Amino acid sequence: MEGGGGGGGGMFYGGCVPNMSALLQTQDLPCSPQPVDAFFISGSSTSFMGASPMVSFQDICGGKRHERSFFRTFGQDDNVDEDLDDYFQQAEKKRRLTAEQVQFLEKSFELENKLEPEKKIQLAKDLGLQPRQIAIWFQNRRARWKTKQLEKDFETLQARYDSLKVDYENLLKEREKLKAEVLHLTDRLLLREKEQGELGSSNTGTELETPPQEPIVYSASEDEAPQISIDALKHEDLGSAKSDVFDSDSPCNINAGHSFAEPGDSSYAFEPENSDLSQDEEDTLSKSLLPTSCIFPKMEDVDYPTPPGNSCNFGFHVEDHATWFWSS
């Protein structure tokens, strides 16, 4: 008897619910356009008369929830129709608050989501509800608020994650691009050195343009990394090889304009970490390949920002980024 149940709720707060209306009409009971609950107004003054039955019902019943003495206020005798009997048994079940009551409670909740005892009593009086009902409503409302809040937090984190993921993928692409560039330059260097070597051996009297210097050699990985001399790099035509590694926007350019990025910024992925390389290797790598403005400070020299909760390594292990960069 879903309709009856629904009517049980509706009748008491909203007026003449269709189900109840039909039911009452079949019994030749009054179902005026006026809210039926007008019949149930309790003695207590209330700002929400329409809601009063919700409390007055139990008041009238003297706390005995299964009595139906209130029904006699209709002037009916005990020979009520069974449907009506069923109906009022339903009426003893849960009833929803009126829109006005909910609105009032919502406003109170906005002001203060916790309920002081005095306020609870006052609200109960104003709304014609039991203080217990007020307390329950606030409790449930807090639970709903918390759920909503969790959903919001989740969405925020999700958006942030998506953004970081895009950044990370862009960095991967950039890394691949830079690796290709380095390989290209390495090939050209080797070729040039080879040519120079041949020239030197065949024409010993010929002087090179540049004075001989001790080449600074880097070795990211002893057995696979090419030997690159700074001297050669200086004279190399880098026009096509101008890398965005050295762009001001480049993550490594930590001294160019802005300091370390916040977590969430794409450059944050370049935050230096502890190295797998030896210190010598790191130093050599830094000196040989990167401009001075692009050398990562040592961990002990810089107060690195710590991402909330934990270190933000974007899924990387806590390793040296040079290793990450140069490794496949």
Choice from 93, 160, 165, 258 touching DNA (CB under 7 A): 93
Contacts of 322 (CB under 8 A, 6+ apart): 220, 275, 277, 282, 285, 296
Residue 136 or 159: the one with the smaller Cβ distance to DNA is 136
Nearest distance from residue 45's CB to DNA, in Å?
A: 21
Dist CA 8 CA 300 (whole Å): 72
Residues in contact with DNA, counted by CB under 7 A, come to a total of: 32
Dist CA 201 CA 196 (whole Å): 9
Nearest distance from residue 48's CB to DNA, in Å?
A: 13
Nearest distance from residue 147's CB to DNA, in Å?
A: 9
Choice from 16, 54, 232, 295 touching DNA (CB under 7 A): 54
Which stretch in 27-35, 139-147, 206-214, 283-291 sits in contact with DNA by CB under 7 A?
139-147
Which stretch in 6-14, 77-85, 174-182, 313-321 sits in contact with DNA by CB under 7 A?
6-14
Per CB under 7 A, does 135 bind DNA?
Answer: yes
Nearest distance from residue 241's CB to DNA, in Å?
A: 58
55: burial class by Cβ within 10 Å (0-12, 13-18, 19+)?
buried
Nearest distance from residue 143's CB to DNA, in Å?
A: 5
Nearest distance from residue 54's CB to DNA, in Å?
A: 7
Residue 135 or 178: the one with the smaller Cβ distance to DNA is 135
Choice from 64, 72, 146, 234 touching DNA (CB under 7 A): 146
Choice from 26, 64, 69, 132 touching DNA (CB under 7 A): 132
Length of the chain, please? 328
Dist CA 264 CA 157 (whole Å): 11
Contacts of 273 (CB under 8 A, 6+ apart): 299, 311, 313, 318, 319, 320, 321
CB count within 10 Å of CB 182 equals 20
Nearest distance from residue 30's CB to DNA, in Å?
A: 21
Please give the structure tokens belonging to residue 86. Answer: 């069923």
Residue 6 or 226: the one with the smaller Cβ distance to DNA is 6
Q: Map tokens 């370049």 to a residue.
A: 270
**Alpha-carbon torsion 72, 78, 84, 87, what sign?**
positive
Per CB under 7 A, does 10 bind DNA?
Answer: yes
Per CB under 7 A, does 114 bind DNA?
Answer: yes
Which stretch in 73-81, 134-142, 219-227, 302-310 sits in contact with DNA by CB under 7 A?
134-142
Q: Could you tell me what percentage of the chain is helix, strand and coil, using 3-state DSSP and rounding each to the nearest 5?
A: 55, 0, 40
DSSP per-residue letters across 245-293:
GGSTTSTT-TTSS--SPPBTBGGGGG-----SS-HHHHHHHHHHHS-GG
* Interface ranges with DNA (CB under 7 A): 2, 5-10, 14, 54, 90-91, 93-97, 102, 114-115, 117, 132-133, 135-140, 142-144, 146
